[in-house]
Chains A and B, each alone.
Chain A
Amino acid sequence: MFNIARFSEQFMILFRQNKNRHGMILGIFILFQLFGYVKYFTGDGSKDLDDFYKFATAFSFILCVMSCQDVFNKLRNTPSGIQYLMTPATILEKYSAAWLYSSMFAFIATQLTYFVVHFLCINVGNLITGMGSELGFPAWQDVQKIFLTVMFVHSIFFFGSILFRKNPIIKTIGSYIGIMFLLTLIFAWYAKHFLVNTQILHSKSLNINLNGSLGSSINGMPLQHFLEQIGMNIKWVLCGIALLLWSGSYILLHKKQI
């Protein structure tokens, strides 16, 4: 049975263990941000405010990788692993606490910090310099896209953090590159042997018409629509992969032996 009290206890253990380290990282992030805003208001104003959000997004990815590693840090060696697995809570409660803490820290904490600092700095900067810069928060769709991408990265490193006992970040990146390389080879082979030989040369069903960007089409479908369709399919595939990796992480944690 899932018990909220035990789950909260697990969450608080993670929080207490990581608060100093993660607090310090967020502090560095804030300092970088402040430095950027000082440069923005003291310079000629040519710097794009969007760059700050890009920086915050990059930080989200870094923190995502770090927090995934930190929540399962105890599994790296035997004595701390024993302590982790023997703490009275079900695997589901431990897993949920780790999942929530790492994803919350990776996305919510960084985004919230960014927005608060951004809001304060722009207002204070405007007040002091009288520049009248607009807040210019990013579009909701962009935030959503970043959220989905961060969560996808989270699923990969969350899985790697349980799977690999030593150097999980390096091994996860290595495995990821390896798998991507393999998939590229498979896809290239598939494209060469199946698409080209079967569809174009034999059935001649693929009709590519490239008459400038507006009139381009594939099999009669407008190019932009075709690309959107592919984009949507890739999005669903990535969501599926993320769910699979999170489920796999749970199973791995369940079977973990120390």
Chain B
Amino acid sequence: MIELSHLNFTYSKNRSLFEDLSLKLKGGHIYGLLGKNGAGKTTLLKLVAGLRLPQSGLSMVLGHESKKRSAEMLQEIFFLPEEIWLPDTTVKGYLQMFAGSYPKFDMDFFHYCLKEFEINTKDKLKSMSFGQRKKVSICFALATQCRIMIFDEPTNGLDIPSKTQFRKLVAEAITDDRCLILSTHQVRDLESLIDSIIILENRQVLMNESTEEIGKKLEFKTLFSIENQPDLLYSEFTPKGFVAVFPGKNDPDSRIDLEALFNLATQQPETIRSIFKH
């Protein structure tokens, strides 16, 4: 569905953000995009959407070159930024303004989502809180039925029950021919939702693996002590004990600790490369 090949991107001449970056994303998956601050998560998403233009390389979305911003591509891709913008109108007015641009827009699903989030369609968008406006945007995004949905920090500003609702609605909206990319620092919020992990590190995609594959190749444990653990790849101390990462025992259902995985990947990129080399 999405193919980035040999992408080079820089904001300034002195510092390049991506060098020869390549990435393939398939349908039917919910990708979690992780990276340190400034690693280029949002920029990568913008390059996919055609909001940023690469210096060289190719970004293809459903067979369309992103930078051309063709209407056919834009009808199949929805970008939900971290900071959202909504016009000065009601939910109904917002729908009237923008729903018509999306040929597959599902009005019933939109209202269903609003109901789940307890949003009143007659309310003025400007009088809503940030979290409420974010919920309206999420509902709209999911109702467009776009095949590619890009959500940048979608759970920022959502309260605890809304995060649960968000996971439920996303799980309902995703189908085999759709792909969702979630960029987040709040890994715990979306741990149960993500089925593939992309980690950006040092201007490259360090890792693009399914959780099943990660579960096979890495084992995550919580231990009281990490002494006499010769296979230990990584550990960090938490109030519950040590979260430790070991080479896996080919168990696809093993529970993954995303924070530990991310810390291992960023501190020992070569270890990750050698474990996940294809």
Query: Which residues of A are at the interface with B, using a C-beta cutoff of 8 A?
Result: 3, 6, 9, 12-13, 16-17, 74, 77-80, 82-83, 85-91, 93, 255, 257-258
Contacting pair B97 A88 (CB below 8 A): no
Q: Is B77 an interface residue (CB 8 A)?
A: yes
Residue of A nearest to B103 (CB): A88
Instruction: Say yes or no: A258-B98 contact (C-beta < 8 A), given A74-B85, A78-B83.
Output: no
Contacting pair B81 A79 (CB below 8 A): yes
Contacting pair B85 A91 (CB below 8 A): no
Give residues of chain B (61-107) contacting chain A, Cβ–Cβ below 8 Å.
69-71, 74-75, 77-79, 81, 83-85, 87, 89, 93, 96-98, 100-102
Contacting pair A17 B87 (CB below 8 A): yes
Pick from B46, B49, B101: contact of A88, CB below 8 A. Answer: B101
Contacting pair B81 A82 (CB below 8 A): yes
Contacting pair A79 B71 (CB below 8 A): no
Pick from A13, A74, A89, A255: contact of B74, CB below 8 A. Answer: A89
Instruction: Say yes or no: A86-B85 contact (C-beta < 8 A), given A16-B93, A93-B71.
Output: no
| Residues in B neighbouring A16, C-beta threshold 8 A | 87, 89, 93, 96-97
Give residues of chain B (123-173) contacting chain A, Cβ–Cβ below 8 Å.
none
What is the minimal beta-carbon distance from B37 to any residue of chain A, in angstroms?
A: 17
Pick from B50, B51, B98, B102: contact of A13, CB below 8 A. Answer: B98
Contacting pair B97 A86 (CB below 8 A): no
Between A13, A86, A90, A257, the greatest number of chain B beta carbons within 10 A of the residue's beta carbon is seen for: A86
* A9–B99 CA distance with the chains assembled, in angstroms: 10
Instruction: Say yes or no: A79-B84 contact (C-beta < 8 A), given A6-B101, A258-B51.
Output: yes
What is the minimal beta-carbon distance from B104 to any residue of chain A, in angstroms?
A: 11
Contacting pair A79 B49 (CB below 8 A): no
- Give the 10 A-B CB pairs with smallest separation, nearest first: A79-B85, A80-B85, A88-B74, A88-B75, A79-B83, A258-B51, A88-B101, A90-B71, A86-B79, A82-B81
* A114–B78 CA distance with the chains assembled, in angstroms: 43
What is the minimal beta-carbon distance from B66 to any residue of chain A, in angstroms?
A: 11
Apart from A13-B101, A86-B79, what are 4 other A-B pairs with CB-CB below 8 Å?
Answer: A9-B101, A86-B77, A93-B71, A257-B52
Residue of A nearest to B70 (CB): A90
Contacting pair A86 B71 (CB below 8 A): no
* A85–B46 CA distance with the chains assembled, in angstroms: 11
Contacting pair A86 B83 (CB below 8 A): no
What is the minimal beta-carbon distance from A119 to any residue of chain B, in angstroms?
A: 34
| Residues in B neighbouring A255, C-beta threshold 8 A | 53
* A85–B68 CA distance with the chains assembled, in angstroms: 11
| Residues in A neighbouring B49, C-beta threshold 8 A | 82, 86
| Residues in B neighbouring A87, C-beta threshold 8 A | 74, 98, 101
Contacting pair B51 A9 (CB below 8 A): no
Instruction: Say yes or no: A257-B85 contact (C-beta < 8 A), given A86-B77, A88-B101.
Output: no
What is the minimal beta-carbon distance from B216 to any residue of chain A, in angstroms?
A: 37
* 5 pairs, CB–CB < 8 Å, chain A vs chain B: A6-B71, A9-B101, A16-B93, A83-B85, A257-B52
